[in-house]
Amino acid sequence: MMALGWTSLRSVAGKGSGFLVMPGSARYFHIELGSRYRWYVAPARTMLVALCGIIGGGIIWSGIQTGMTLYDLQDVQANLDHVRMQDQQLLAQAQREGLDLSEPSLQQLPAEVSLANLVLTKRHFSWTQFLSALESAIPQQVSMKSIRLDQGGAVVHITGLAVTVEHVTALTVTLQNHAVFYDPVLGQHRVRPDGLVEFDLTLRYRQQGV
């Protein structure tokens, strides 16, 4: 009987250990969790640390890129300011010398330069050299009817007669491999009632000493 009573007392005491008796007769339920093992805590902590490291590295890299971009922009701005200063100095010097560097004048400048080059080319053009070179390239079975030069003597238009089409082809090959003539282009050709072949030929002429 005494043993049974002592066992019941222990059971009640064990059950009572799950409660905390606080002043004022208030009872709070107490659960012991310190002894439970959570296998996912360590991997989760490692992943969080790695993620924080990646984010920090990205922030540092973005800061470096931003600094480099700002440095490049400052360099470009400095070069632009230098070019603008040179332009202003050039305009001031041109005004002192009486030169017109306005936009309409600059747009007209290429045409004036081209005209000046054309005049110089015609001035130095030698008909003697041109006709001598052309005569040496023409076969005996081919004769010239007309010769016309364009663009300061650089482009030559020839109209002629040949005995056969093969002679026209031979003339084209000769001009292709010539020292001063190049890029021959055979245009229209037709056989006349008398059997001769009339043809049009365009080629380029390389002036010597120009």
Q: What is the pLDDT of residues 114-164, one digit of tens each?
A: 655 555 455 556 677 777 888 888 888 898 888 887 766 678 888 999 999
Say if 174 falls within a structural domain.
yes
Q: Work out the pLDDT band at 197, boundaries 50, 70, 90.
A: very high
Counted domains in the chain: 2
Say if 87 falls within a structural domain.
yes
C-alpha separations of 54 from 45, 49, 70, 154 in Å: 14, 9, 24, 69
Mean pLDDT of 86-113: 70
| Domain shared by 131 and 197, yes or no | yes
Q: Work out the pLDDT band at 33, boundaries 50, 70, 90.
A: low
| Domain shared by 141 and 83, yes or no | no
The residue from 97, 116, 141 where one domain ends is: 97
Whether 181 and 205 have beta carbons less than 8 Å apart is answered as yes
Say if 172 falls within a structural domain.
yes
| Domain shared by 88 and 135, yes or no | no
| Domain shared by 87 and 147, yes or no | no
Contacts for 151 with CB less than 8 Å, ≥ 6 apart = 118
Mean pLDDT of 96-122: 61
CATH of the domain at 176: 3.30.1360.100
* Cα gap 74→208, rounded to integer Å: 52
pLDDT for 7: 47
Range of the domain at 151: 125-205
Say if 104 falls within a structural domain.
no
Q: Strands 142-150 and 155-162, how do they pair?
A: antiparallel
Say if 68 falls within a structural domain.
yes
Say if 171 falls within a structural domain.
yes
pTM (predicted TM-score): 0.40
Say if 27 falls within a structural domain.
no
Question: Of the ranges 87-101, 130-144, 160-174, which one carries the lowest mean pLDDT score?
Answer: 87-101
